[in-house]
């Protein structure tokens, strides 16, 4: 085939490749939340999982979604832990954590985000922040003082916790495997896409961390390949004092969500109460 005859074929191949890329990018844009949120829908009660002294409640958000929550009141003089989970599962998969916090005489409030567990709606960044805000405001309405509300944000929930702490007063914040920006994480995984242009739910924690003035604890595993420890270090560097970071040697994205971490958080919160 002559060079002149080859040129049209090359043009057709280039057009086909570009078309395929644009189709893939459009598909990923339209379906991106299915790659970011992985809810389960068991919606079990606390009692069904063996927890005692826990109220199964329904909270209504500012945009009329109904959330499944578990609440145990604090012992006298003790703070309340408001826990914001990661992007997988729901609160019914985290009963062991609930019991651990409860054993420290803390009040405990767990929220299944919209679209998770027995909660209504579909997850989004704005929606998850509304869910956290609804939980916080409910605690305040119960007479819980803002300075006794201790936030825990796990993985994706770290970004929700940072945004809540930026707009509401809390006693302290503990972040497990946090990120500087979820868009940075996605860009590393989907390097072939212009993620920073396409991503809807960016969870840019760096944009909010400077407005958080509560004592901060960051816990990150040095073998985390889902949210690399460099992300946690960047966020920690941008945070205000007082702050401390605990690096778990050999810790992965799964193994740090453990009783050792929960105990560390409770000691951190107890110290804030003592202060």
pLDDT reported for residue 240: 98
Count Cβ atoms below 10 Å from residue 8 Cβ, excluding itself. Answer: 9
Q: Is the pTM of this model over 0.85?
A: yes
Assess contact for 116 and 141: CB atoms under 8 A.
Answer: no
Quick one: DSSP state of residue 148? G
Is residue 1 one of the residues assigned to a domain? no
Is residue 100 one of the residues assigned to a domain? yes
Read off the pLDDT of residues 89-112 as tens digits, 9 standing for 90 and up. Answer: 999 999 999 999 999 999 999 999
Nearest to 205 by CA among 168, 175, 170: 175
Is residue 5 one of the residues assigned to a domain? no
Radius of gyration for the chain, computed over Cα atoms and rounded to the nearest angstrom: 21
Q: What is the largest CA-CA distance in the chain?
A: 88
pLDDT reported for residue 104: 96
How many Cα neighbours within 13 Å face the side chain of 237?
7
Assess contact for 212 and 236: CB atoms under 8 A.
Answer: no
Q: In CATH, what number is assigned to the domain containing residue 226?
A: 3.40.50.1820
Domain of residue 184 covers 36-274
pLDDT reported for residue 21: 74
How many Cα neighbours within 13 Å face the side chain of 160?
30
- CB within 8 Å of 110: residues ≥ 6 apart: 69, 70, 71, 83, 85, 91, 94, 98
Assess contact for 128 and 77: CB atoms under 8 A.
Answer: no
Is residue 139 one of the residues assigned to a domain? yes
Is residue 68 one of the residues assigned to a domain? yes
Is residue 201 one of the residues assigned to a domain? yes
Cis peptide before 149 (omega within 30 of 0): no
Is residue 4 one of the residues assigned to a domain? no
CA angle centred on 100, ends 244 and 140, rounded to 5°: 75
Assess contact for 69 and 59: CB atoms under 8 A.
Answer: yes
Is residue 23 one of the residues assigned to a domain? no
pLDDT along the chain (275 residues), means of 10: 61 75 78 92 96 97 98 96 98 98 97 98 98 98 97 98 98 98 90 85 97 98 96 98 98 96 98 80
The total number of structural domains in the chain stands at 1
């Amino acid at each position: 085939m002559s060079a002149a005859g080859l040129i049209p074929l090359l043009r057709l191949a280039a057009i086909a490749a570009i078309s395929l890329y644009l189709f893939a990018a459009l598909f990923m844009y339209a379906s991106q939340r299915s790659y970011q949120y992985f809810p389960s829908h068991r919606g079990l009660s606390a009692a069904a999982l063996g927890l005692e002294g826990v109220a199964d409640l329904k909270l209504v958000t500012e945009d009329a979604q109904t959330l499944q929550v578990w609440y145990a009141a604090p012992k006298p003089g003790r703070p309340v832990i408001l826990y914001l989970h990661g992007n997988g599962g729901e609160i019914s998969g985290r009963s062991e954590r609930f019991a651990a916090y409860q054993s420290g005489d803390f009040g405990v409030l767990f929220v299944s985000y919209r679209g998770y567990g027995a909660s209504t709606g579909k997850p989004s960044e704005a929606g998850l922040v509304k869910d956290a805000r609804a939980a916080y405001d409910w605690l305040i309405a119960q007479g819980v003082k803002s300075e006794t509300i201790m936030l825990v944000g796990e993985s994706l929930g770290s970004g929700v916790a940072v945004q809540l702490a930026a707009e509401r007063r809390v006693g302290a914040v503990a972040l497990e495997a946090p990120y500087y920006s979820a868009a940075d994480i996605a860009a590393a995984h989907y390097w072939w896409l212009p993620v920073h242009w396409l991503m809807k739910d960016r969870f840019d924690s760096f944009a909010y961390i400077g407005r958080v003035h509560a004592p901060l604890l960051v816990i990150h595993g040095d073998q985390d390949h889902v949210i690399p420890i460099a992300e946690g270090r960047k966020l920690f560097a941008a945070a205000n004092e007082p702050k401390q970071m605990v690096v778990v040697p050999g810790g992965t994205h799964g193994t740090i969500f453990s009783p050792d971490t929960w105990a560390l958080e409770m000691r951190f919160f107890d110290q804030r109460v003592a202060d």
